A and B are shown apart, each in its own frame.
Chain A
Amino acid sequence: MSFIIWTIQLILVPVLSPLVIGVIRKSKARFQNRRGASILQPYNDVWKLMHKDEIISADASWIFRYAPYIMFAVTLVVGASIPLVASFLKNEYTSDILAIVYMLAIGTFFLALAGIDTGSSFGGFGSSREMTISALAEGGFIFSLLTLALISGSTNLFSISAFIAAPNLLSALPIMLAFLGFFIVLLAETSRFPFDNPATHLELTMIHEAMILEYSGKRLALMEWASANKLLIFISLAINLFFPWGIAQNLSLGAVTFGIVVFAVKVSLFCLVIATIESTIAKLRFFRLPDLLIVSFILNVVAIGLII
């Protein structure tokens, strides 16, 4: 039984993640008074790219060739280790907050190396910017999860989710502050506004796109898919750790079905929020970004100050 659940956990994130991208793109198109492509378009994109030939730079090494697989595998493992629709699937092996943070860092590490590997100047500055942002986001990321861990007395993500699900007015304020901090980190780590523009190839502003500029075919498909996975992982963390109401607490058909429905609704709402932000605010100048990330960190420190 547990093996089946693990397998479901493992494939749930990659199966749903292109849909998330589709929903965000669709809502952004509506904001721009366009009809936009179908929300299933990202699946078609992946399928199309998977069936194309590839060109790899002569300067690239095996780092460039294997980085997409490593990135994709890491997002799969992390996706399997976080609560998605049920908090009773607790595992004591990989669902630790620090394990999650540092496993995602493996992906960032190889992504940045792959960006430099082809010797293109775009890839180089993309990696430099990405590492700057992710280095500064790390404090906020760990501390926002730490706030929850201190409230719930465990660093296991499933325990946190189960604990926060029980309503408690006393810890509502620190949870909200930690959520604001986490939300800023979410935007930074998933290359969203105001940190990065996922829809641009303008050399002055791109970060994530600059690193994957030299990819094509299957490897590009994996890179795109992996970043979609990462987005869904962060959204799931946000909704299941900070607002876990409705998550399935036990293994009954009713609870699990309700959990799935609630999960779908909350993820869609979150996509709408992200789309709204991307449509209404402008991208910040690169050297303003540290201020935002420090704000995220300070919000979390205040949250910790409220609970300890």
Chain B
Amino acid sequence: MADKSSEKSNEKINGDERIVETLSPIERKILPVLKKHALDIDSISGKAEGDKTTALRALEFLKNKGLVEIDEQKKKIVQAGINGLFYLKKQLPERRLLNELAKRNMIPIKDVEKLGLNENEAKISIGVLKKKAVIDLKNGNIILVGNKDEIARKTLEEKLLESLPRDLESLEPQEKLAFENLKSRRDIIEVIDEKKVSVKLTALGEKVSKMNLKEDLIEQLTPKIIQTNAWKGKKFRRYDLQTSGKKIYGGKRHFVNQATDYAKSIWMEMGFKEMTGTMAQTGFWNFDALFTAQDHPVREMQDTFFIKNIEGKLPEDKIVKEIRKAHEGGIEFDGKSKGWQYKWDENVSKKVSMRTHTTCLSAKTLKKIAEAKEFPAKYFALGKCFRNETVDWSHGFEFNQTEGIVVDENANFRQLLGYLVSFFKKMGYEKIRIRPGYFPYTEPSLEIDVFHPEKKKWLELGGAGMFRPEVTIPMFGRHVPVLAWGPGFDRIIMESFKIQDLRDMYKNDLTKLREMKFWRK
């Protein structure tokens, strides 16, 4: 049987009582000490038998609960410095000199130091007294000229020093003068910033402070309290639910990978199989199998990361022969295809580069599908591609592409649009622009743009199309319609992560990674 007894019922309590229940032990101690008029913090912490920091924190909580008003004033306080404290005991040096003069009327300057004044004190004392016109210097002697009653009176400086500490603001004009004088002398006085905190009760605070603050509330629920049923019939102190906890961060997947997983799931929901492959590829798969002429600009160094001093291998002769034929002209397709009409060079095909698109994976998969004669078939890939590009906000030299192919006798252009529109919709893009495009390996071809609201321009996401017979015939021996696409992926997701610059994608700024929101589409 479940125990249905509860902690003391909270029903029917009024607002003020609720407030009392939120008070921590230290707040309970402080509250009765407070008055309707302002008290300063030192007297409060003294009376509440706590240290100042604890008291201040508790007062802050009380303020949040509307029980007190805290008045903070920054003040400049004048207090005695090290020398000042010493002179308070031993008197100022000019006083000591004056006292001696009162006895002797005249002292040789060279004897001043015998009075226990150091050289500096002697010099200053003479200066000060001369300025006050109570002494004169004649033939190396100090002669008293002021009258004795006058010199017996305390100087303004002495009076000020004895009155310290004082609020700088509270000094009278005459005292100000003395202050300036003393300040010009070493370490007699100093000015410090002091925060003066004073606290008074609000009307609500006054009311609450008179209520019963003695009730024993449970502070921390402990295993012991649970076990011994000590909680029964007792109240728990109410917590201030508005207070945030200390910041914590969790471990998580990299945001690009979170989005990648989601995109992969979109393709899989549509029945696509994943294809993967190496990041380095031969020209054969990256370009030649995709009917990209060997003198096409993309195959030049300035656009592609070619690998130094490594020569790749070509696949078996049959496919090489077919691809050569496609390039040189002579593939049978309702008559002979013209190809690129040049001499295709095996060595150019063996050059290794970092893949410039994931379409090389599609080319390889196409060959497998053709060999197994297993289609209709739908494949996708999501992976890194590389371009030897100068990097800016919308261009990275490493970026992800989301690749797909559909091999089906009945595949058509409308279906190509169907897959793409559906994918982009699930990625959060209701509005995309599809326009004609050009790729050596597709016909018809298209480009997909999305509108970038911040930069106010259409952002090219990449292309799609239907593979040309020059691509499909070397693989299948005849033209089988293949839908193919490979839009850039990083540009698609930068908006969702509020990334303005593609350069931030792989920067691994840990603070940003920790703060980065989770992918939720």
The answer to whether A and B assemble together is no
